[in-house]
Amino acid sequence: MLLAAGYREVVTTFDLTRSGLIEVTVRRQSNLPGDPPSVLALLPTDLRSGVEVTVGDVPIVTPTAAIGGL
């Protein structure tokens, strides 16, 4: 849903130690909402509870290593 809204970088995680909280991180984009409550409002109402949104200014995922196999 956030990708469909135009966010190019979205990461979601699930935290069992915090009662199953879903953590969503998006990279700030000038043409899209940049505060967590506004990003959360883009989700359907029934999906908003138990979701924590973070908005950042730096790349969300920066690969530092790769593992290959045969």
Domain ranges, ordered by start, for the chain: 2-56
Q: How far apart are CA 26 and CA 69, in angstroms?
A: 31
Amino acid at 32: L
Q: How far apart are CA 30 and CA 63, in angstroms?
A: 24
Per the prediction, the chain carries an average pLDDT of 88
Q: Which residue has the higher pLDDT, 15 or 39?
A: 39
Largest Cα–Cα separation, the chain: 45
pLDDT given at position 16: 86
Rounded to an integer, the average pLDDT of 29-35 is 95
